Structure formats: structure tokens, C-alpha cells
Amino acid sequence: MQEVIFLIFSLENIYLAIWIIFVTSILLSKKHPITTMSWLLTITLIPVIGMLLYIFLGINWREVTLINKIKNTTHHSVRSIMISNLVKFNSSDFFGRGKRDKLDEILKNLKLEDETVEIINLIFNTEKTQPNLNQNYEIYYSGKNAFKALKNDLLNAKDSIYMEYYIWRSDELGVRVKEILIAKAKEGVEIKLIFDGLGSFLSIDRVYKKELEKAGVEFLYFLDIKLFMLKLDYRNHRKMTIIDGKILHTGGMNLGLEYITGGDKFDSWRDTNIRVIGDMALYYMAIFATDWLNSGGKFDFNRFEKFILNRSNSINSHPMQVSSSGPDSQWASIKYLYTKCITNAKREIFIQTPYFIPDHSLLEQLKIAALSGVKVRIMSAGKSDNIITHRVGKTFFEELLLANIEVYQYQKGFLHAKTILYDDEVSSIGTCNFDSRSFNINYEINAIFYDKEINSKLKKQFFEDMKYSTKLELDFFIKQSKFKRLTDSFFRLFAPLL
């Protein structure tokens, strides 16, 4: 009996020592106080599982190894070619010197509103990316149209194809794209593909990859979880295709058939992508090149020089700018972009996101805007592919409604679009969800448009989507039982971790 008591006492002391180690690690991680409290509660209330979750999802492994790996790559050659944000750790050291005059010249010619110039300056100061001019664009609100255009552009590629997707499937759509890529590779087109290590884990079969390799199509996994298991929390959520250095496809759509058919769970899939012809493709190409280098590949930067020399003048001049961020970014630039859009708005704000889990600062800014007389409309997925994030997201709706913010839940299939726009001139389409994970942990990328025509089109689509959405009412939440409120409050504790 004494041996049993001694064993229990020893195990308790061992557990206490381990718990103290974890608590110390969490406190020293310099996370946001709310996130810190969430992790402390997780390891305390769910001891073993919580500690494992923190090891895989909470530790900032990037500060120890990921940034060091990125610093070892060579990107000084790009600095002399174009202004971009290839380097996400302190990029101003590489691209920020002597470029302010060029930005001032661009702003003088664009003649934009003062509030718009503030956003351009914000992105420039955090990432050193310049606004650029583009000849043409087309916005797609369905996978059918978006992938039809993508396949057509792939078929007409002459020089290079660079594709990067969080999820890439070897399904019917993936097979068709593979056939096109193999045919273009045989024609001598350079092709490079990046799959996320987690998002595309087990979604591409071996035969598919062998056929790509045999044809000379290069592909790499960004942070392959078989090699970087402890870093599976850092996901490359970007989606882009750059063709011949002049055509860009980007937005919320991964490369999977469900974006066309709705898949097994939904009748349809509502997302937003954009096709751009112009200099925006070069900026995305620079970010692709960074991700390719950080995945262990090599990149011929001479292609930048060729594309820049051969690029056409943008007659229609649609001004755009790219914003990208990740766990190794010096600044949470996309979050700052959203913040600036909210605080700049004078009349109205439109937000579409499948997952709405804002941090405290963004939540307060939205409420302040609405209480100041700005019409704020938020649309999220009424039918979700993630039960937990869907449940947590709904816990924010009551206080939004109390601030006179209109909240809609899209019911015609799954809403996966990630857009924000305000007033008349500024809008954005990208990969960033309205949640802490996208703003602070994932590798994300958004296209920003300083164009009244694009703003108007996105606004028109929002109103169209409202026809298939349920407008939430405050009475629904007021009448909820105390047990429902209690369970919702419990789920909300984990919001900073999602």
C-alpha cells in the first residue's frame, strides 16, 4: 500500500514539474495575453492532450529554426530587379532603401483619395511592395468559371507556369490540370508547383506525382509534415497561379473538384477568385519564388529581368497592391490592412469570410465603426466544413448585433470567399480568413484593389449573396438558454487557438 501511495505521490510531482515547465514556456512565449490564458487553461483542464496540442500547435518553432533556414537562402539578386516582399523577416533590410521617391511618384500619378493613400503607405512600410498598374481583370464567383479560365490560360502558356495551393487534389480536376501540365512540360514550358505539407497531405496519390516527375514537372511540399512534424501549425494557405510572368489567378479557391461541384458535404461552393493581366503577376511571382526557395528549391531570377523588359504598358491602369504575411513576418500586415479598412470607412463596410473569429482589437474596431454610423455588414458560412470554428464564430454574433452590425449566414452551399471592401475605392480578395490563425500563423496573401469599378462589382455580388443568406436577429440570442450560453462561453475560450 505504501508503494502505491509513493508511486502516486511521485507521479503527481512529475506531472507538477512538467506542468510548471509548460506554464513557464507559455509565459515566456510573449503571446497575446488572451492567447496565453487560453493555452494555460488548455494544459490545465486537458492535461495530457492539452500539452501535446501545445507542443504541436503552440510552440513558436519558427523563431528557432524556420527563420534561420530562410535567412540562409539567397535573394539579394531579386533586390536589384524589382521591389517586392520576397523576404518576410525584416524585408526593409533588403528592399526598403531609396525607394520612397518612386512610391511618391506613383501616388502622384494615381490621384487617389487620402484614405486610400494611407493604406498604400501602410503596405509599403510593412512590406515594401509598391502599387502597380494592370491591363485587365476578371472576377469569378464560382469554381466552374474560375477553373475554366485557369485551364485555358494553362493551355496557352509559352514560357512558365508557377502554381501554389494549400490543397491540391488528384481528383477529376487535378487529373485534367496534370494532363495539361505534362503536355506543356513536353513543349519546354518551365513548371513549378508548391503543395502545402498539411493541406495537401495524402490528397495527391503516388502515381499522380510520379507522372509529374517523369514529365519534368517540378513540385515541392512547403513544410512537409513528414519532415517538420513539430511545425504542422504553420500552414501555407496561399493560392496562386502565375503564367508567363503576366497572368495571375488568385483568391480563395484551392485546386479541388469540390469548388466546382460542392463536394460530398454541400450542394455548391461559393468562392471568389480573380484573374489579372499585368504587373501584379510579377509581385506574386516574387512571393512564389520565396516560397520555392524556402521549400528547398532553386529559382532562376533572370526570368524576372526578361518578364520586366517584355511587359506591356497597362493602358487601362487598374491599380493594385499585394499584401502577404506569415509567422515569420515582422508585421501582421494583412491584419493591419483589415484594421485600416475598418477605421478608414466613412459609410459602409462589407466582409465575407467562411470563419469569423476576430481577436479583441478587430472586434472592438468593428463595433466602434458601427456605433459611429458606418453601415457594417458581415457574411459568414451558414453551413460549415468545420464544426468547432463554426460554433466558436457564432459566439461573437450577439455583441455584433448589439452594436447594430448586420450579420448574415450564407445558406446556398458553403461560403468560402475571403473579401473585404469599404466605401467606394478600396477592396481586397485573398486567402486570409477573418480569424487569428490567418492573421498571425498561416502564410497568407491578399490582392488589394484601388479601383472603384472592382469595389462596385464586389459590392453587387455581396447583395446578390444576401438573397441566399439568413439575416441574424438579436432576439434569437437573447432567448437562448443559460446552458447554451454557458457552453458557448466555454468554446469561446479557445477562439485565440483556432
As annotated, the active-site residues are 237, 239, 244, 416, 418, 423
Main-chain dihedrals φ then ψ at residue 347, nearest 5 degrees: -125, -50
The count of other CB atoms within 10 Å of the CB of residue 340 is 19
Which candidate, 232, 169, 137, places its Cα nearest to that of 458? 137
Neighbours of 112 (CB within 10 A): 18
- Cβ-based neighbour number of residue 105 at 10 Å: 10
Q: Which of 383, 87, 385, 422 minimizes the C-alpha distance to 254?
A: 385
* Amino acid identity for residue 345 in this structure: A
Q: How many residues does the chain have?
A: 498
In the numeric block, which cell numbers belong to residue 188? Answer: 519546354
132 contacts 277 by C-beta, under 8 angstroms: no
Burial label, 397 (beta-carbon count in 10 A; 0-12, 13-18, 19+)? buried
Q: Are 328 and 443 in contact (CB under 8 A)?
A: no
- Using CA atoms, how far apart are residues 110 and 112, in angstroms rounded to an integer? 6
Instruction: Judge whether 392 and 357 are in contact, CB under 8 Å.
Output: yes
CB 81 within 8 A of CB 301: yes
Contact 338, 434 (CB under 8 A): yes
CB 233 within 8 A of CB 202: no
**Which residues are within 8 A (CB) of 273 and not within 5 positions of it... i.e. 6 or more apart?**
139, 140, 146, 249, 250, 251, 252, 253, 429
Contact 308, 81 (CB under 8 A): yes
Contact call for residues 401 and 393 (beta carbons, < 8 A): no
Rounded-to-integer distance, Cα 119 and Cα 123, Å: 6
How far apart (Å, rounded) are the C-alpha atoms in residues 212 and 207? Answer: 9
CB 281 within 8 A of CB 247: yes
